[in-house]
Amino acid sequence: MKWQIAVDGRTIDVDSGQLDAVTQVEPGVYSVLLDGASYEIRVNESSEGLSVETCGRRFTVEVRDPRDTSRGARTSIGSGRQKIAAPMPGKVVRVLVSVGDSVDVGQGLVVVEAMKMQNEMKASRPGRVVEVRAMAGGTVGAGDTLVVLE
């Protein structure tokens, strides 16, 4: 069976027969012997697909099932709105903007603290604040929307 695998966006064609090169050595850890070279590769499921680590590098991998024909059009991006999301779990220390504010590129929006480090989330383009979901003192998870810009 033929598979198409996207490794950091690069498409790799793989035949099921090539899987003989792979041995699972620990849960989620695979030893791959290819043309005499030995690779140790760690695979974990993540929100973006499979997160793969080897030789000190990280790859995001997507496996496309050849039998799955249901992949439709992707949701369109770019409605002009920009969601500023928390890049990591943490606590909201300060909210620096309110609804209606105009913001410039690089302007601080929200300060999130995790592991004793404060990080200021900044606007990556100019816009107007249409929604503020972050609350000072509140807890946020990775990917939670803090502020919506227009």
Partner 1 sequence: MFGAVLIANRGEIAVRIVRALREMKIRSIAVFSDADRGALHVRLADEAEHIGPAASAESYLRVDRILEAAKKHGAQAIHPGYGFLSENAGFAAACADAGIVFIGPSAESIQRLGSKTAARILAKQAGAPVVPGSEDPATNVEQARKLALEIGYPVLLKAAAGGGGKGVRRVNEERELESAIRDAASEAERAFHNSEIYLEKFIEKPRHIEIQIAGDHYGNLVHLGERECSLQRRYQKIVEECPSPFVARHQEMRTAMGEAALKVARAAAYDNLGTVEFLADSQGNFYFLEVNTRLQVEHPVTELVTGYDLVQLQLRIAAGEALPFTQKDVRWRGWAMECRVCAEDPDQQFLPSPGTIAQLREPSGPGVRLDSGVYPGWTVPLEYDALLAKLVTWGPDRNTAIQRLRRALAEYSITGIQTNISFFLDILDDPEFLAGDISTAFIPDFLARRKPPTKPAPGLDLAVALAALTHFQKARESATIASNADAGRWLSEGRGRLLR
Instruction: Please report, as ranges, the residues that interact with partner 1 according to CB under 8 A.
Output: 3, 5, 7, 10, 12, 14, 18-19, 21-22, 24, 26-30, 32, 34-35, 37, 39-45, 47, 49-59, 61-65, 68, 71, 87-90, 114-119
Residue with Cβ nearer partner 1 (99 or 137): 137
Q: Do 140 and 103 form a contact (C-beta atoms < 8 A)?
A: no
Between CA 36 and CA 50 the distance in angstroms is 26
Residue with Cβ nearer partner 1 (11 or 99): 11
Residue with Cβ nearer partner 1 (16 or 80): 16
DSSP at 96: -
Collapsing DSSP states into helix, strand and coil, what is residue 18? helix
Between CA 129 and CA 150 the distance in angstroms is 6
**Least distance in angstroms from the C-beta of 112 to partner 1:** 9
Torsion angle in degrees (nearest 10) through CA of 133, 134, 140, 143 = 50
**Least distance in angstroms from the C-beta of 130 to partner 1:** 25
**Least distance in angstroms from the C-beta of 133 to partner 1:** 19
